[in-house]
Amino acid sequence: MVSFLLSIVVLIIGYLVYGVFLEKVLGIDRNKKTPAYELRDDVDYTPLPTWKVFMIQFLNIAGLGPIFGAIAGAMFGPAAFLWIVLGSIFAGATHDYFSGMLSVRHKGLSISEVVGIYLGPKVKHLMRAFTIILLIFVGTVFLVGPAKIIDGLSSESMGVPFWVLLILVYYFLSTLLPIDKLIGKLYPIFGLAMLIMALGLFVVLMTGDFTIPEVTWGNLRNMTSNPTETPIFPVLFVTIACGAISGFHATQSPLMARCMRNESNGRVIFSGTMITEGIVALIWAAAAMVCFGDVGALNSTMAANNNNAAWAANEITLSMLGQVGGVLAVLGIIAAPITSGDTAFRSCRLILADVFQLDQKKYIKRFYISLPLFVIAFALTQVDFGIIWRYFAWSNQTLATVVLWTITAYLIFEKKNYVVSLVPAIFMTMVCSTYILIAPEGFSIENTYAYWGGAVITILVMGLFGWYVTKGRLQMA
């Protein structure tokens, strides 16, 4: 219990202290006109109140990740707490704040275009394709996930395909309509459900007869059923993405960069939402560790139910909050992924519009861009959900890594403190390269060789980056 509460306190202190430090590293300009005013079109570029921008950003990034990822991460034991805290403060908040503010500084451009500015046109073209594929994966994951949850809760089951189509219709509308017409009006309601869900679980954890594992040296071991197949490094750092660091966040930040009224709002909107998501992930991880007895029981229960995190989330809410509280909490579970899926498709539309320089004021142009995305996403719903989720997890963290290197290049070129992003960039490069070598959906290399391979790839990436920025600085001189 002490470690859990201390983790929440450290996250809050991290936002108040390290968040201010990051803001000073960037150097904000309160008098500079933001894209919301400079390029206002009342479709994507429109100034919104800070509280509403915060809520939209939070719901954009807080999809199934801090719930499903936290439950799966809890299977490793209290090591999950450490990664959520340290990852959120030193990696996630850094990633989210700078990626959001760089978009603000570049007229609300999509992350692939921002990457191209600082890492070159070749990387930009690669990131365009990579980001679009990731966002379609996200939209598909957040289409199938909530559809399965709703179907499981339905007394008269309509079947998953029915709910998929219904959610798809909502996604289509939210992608086409101006941001303040549907998303801006529904998100505060969904946000309230998310807050009630998190607060309810927290209160039960504090008042119930539960023993949350402490972060001790003895407990910082791999508690999964098969530690050899799921080593803490790198699997834990990919399993818990949202709630620690997630590349998906960088795809969502440009949406809010186009709605921010002032640069001074960036810390609360980008860093603040990341830290809030970290707290949500902590609560779910703690709940998962105690709901079924202990971490060992969590592992065996998950194994018996095909590692179905949606089932586990439903069981946790119903058993810990009862029927009434469970309904509110499940509403949060459903709202979270839906409010990430809709903006995933919206972000994808904006990226394509940036790439082809298409004006988005007319509905018909937004329709032409969006329709193929939904056709592809619907086709992907026929693929096994577990396969989609695994590839989404790795590609998501890979995108976060590229964004961290982009931020580092920007800070170097601007002669600012680049260590804040360089350290997490190196760490995440090692995580992603090792994971793809070791994972069954990757190369399935034996652990020791995968670690050495990950180290070699990381050193090569560092060398290539050093060569690139040196060349860039010489050209700028």
CATH number at residue 63: 1.20.1730.10
Domain annotation covers residue 102:
yes
Q: How many domains does the chain have?
A: 1
Place 237 in a pLDDT band, splitting at 50, 70 and 90: very high
Structural domain span for residue 157: 2-388
**Residue 439 is assigned to a structural domain of this protein:** no
Q: What is the 3-state secondary structure (H, E, C) of the chain?
A: CHHHHHHHHHHHHHHHHHHHHHHHHHCCCCCCCCHHHHCCCCCCCCCCCHHHHHHHHHHHHCCCHHHHHHHHHHCCCCHHHHHHHHHHHHHHHHHHHHHHHHHHHCCCCCHHHHHHHHHCHHHHHHHHHHHHHHHHHHHHHHHHHHHHHHHHHCCCCCCHHHHHHHHHHHHHHHHHCCCCCCHHHHHHHHHHHHHHHHHHHHHHHHHCCCCCCCCCCCCCCCCCCCCCCCCHHHHHHHHCCCCCCCHHHHHHHHHHHCCCCCHHHHHHHHHHHHHHHHHHHHHHHHHHHHHCCCHHHHHHHHHHCCCCHHHHHHHHHHHHHHHHHHHHHHHHHHHHHHHHHHHHHHHHHHHHHHHHCCCCCCHHHHHHHHHHHHHHHHHHCCCCHHHHHHHHHHHHHHHHHHHHHHHHHHHHHCCCCCHHHHHHHHHHHHHHHHHHHHCCCCCCCCHHHHHHHHHHHHHHHHHHHHHHHHHHHHHHC
Maximum mean pLDDT: which of 311-325, 369-383, 427-441: 427-441
* Whole-prediction pTM: 0.90
Segment 124-138 shows an average pLDDT of 84
pLDDT at 477 over 70: no
Note the pLDDT tens digit of each residue in 419-451. Answer: 999 999 999 999 999 999 998 888 899 999 999
pLDDT at 387 over 70: no
Question: Would you say residue 432 lies in a domain?
Answer: no
Does the pLDDT of residue 266 top 80, yes or no? yes
**What pLDDT does residue 329 have?**
63
Domain membership flag for residue 108: yes
Percent of the chain with pLDDT over 70: 93
What is the overall mean pLDDT for the chain?
88
In a domain, 476, yes or no: no
* pLDDT at 158 exceeding the cut of 60: yes
| Residue 277 covered by a domain | yes
Task: Give 92-110 pLDDT, tens digit per residue.
Answer: 999 999 999 999 999 999 9
Residue 331 confidence (pLDDT) above 80? no
